[in-house]
Structure 1
Amino acid sequence: MIAETICSAVAAAGLGIAAVTAYRKRFLAAARLAAYALVPLGLVMTGAVEWAAETAFSPVAWAGFGVLGTAWLLFLGTRSAERRAGGTRKERRAAAKAAQRDAVAPAASAPTLGAGARPTAKAKPAAAPAEDFSDIEAILKKHGI
């Protein structure tokens, strides 16, 4: 009962300050003050203040908060243990897929054009990359074209 009275007094004082602020032509600030002042009044009207007052003096409620805290600590502990063990399931799947992709040689499908692959008999000084067709001519001759 006393908590409701205090909240109602705070709301009335806040609305009074908002009225004075509006009188000084600061309407935006007055509207903001009125919004803050109406919150405690709304909490009294919904019964949230009474519930909070009953909860503060209830041993069962405090035991419930203890259970929630224990659950929170267990959750955090399992998350940290999971990170130390190698991450979440999603991360382990991504690592397995990456290992599977890396198992095949990534350069196996790339053409091998080293220094020994070019025919040395037709070695010309390359004036420009657009004019050096010796590799293409060798491939075409090899296939009989």
Structure 2
Amino acid sequence: MSGQIATWFPLCVGLTAVGLVLSFLAFRRRGVAAGMRVAAWALLPLAAYLTGALQALWTIGTTVVGFVTSLVFSPFVWAGVAVAGVSAVLFVASGVLRGRALSRDGERRKGGKGGKEAPAGPAEAPAVAGGRPAQTGKPAVEAPAKRKSDDDFSDIEDILRRRGIK
């Protein structure tokens, strides 16, 4: 065994011995169940030493403490945190600018306030005050064949017309 592991042996044996004495006292005062529970806890330090789990826990603990202290006290780490923050700000800003550019393109295509005219599409008849298309000299384009939902609305329109509701 190495020197570091051998130094843990007296501590583990001592903790187990103290725990077993407390287990005996718990057994006499509070019963068998309490004594057994304290004995189970008392045997864990010795079991951790014998299985090598104590050395693994010690290695993990020293590694975590070393990482945290190097994180807190290292200027290079804080520089890395600052660079990561700048990167995050740039991602957010580029997303905002891209969203604005896409919305401007959409307004231009629709002929909105974006500046350029919308590309030429099918001509629509200008509307009159009633919201109906104005009559132009051109023949009306035939409506596509009626759909089933149009038939449903035509029944409702007939009922409303019969009742005198427009």
TM range (shorter): 0.3 to 0.5
Work out which of the two has the higher radius of gyration on C-alpha atoms and give 1 or 2. Answer: 2
- Which structure has the higher relative contact order (CA within 8 Å, separation 6+)? 1
TM-score if structure 2 supplies the norm length? Answer: 0.41
Output the TM-score relative to the length of structure 1.
0.45
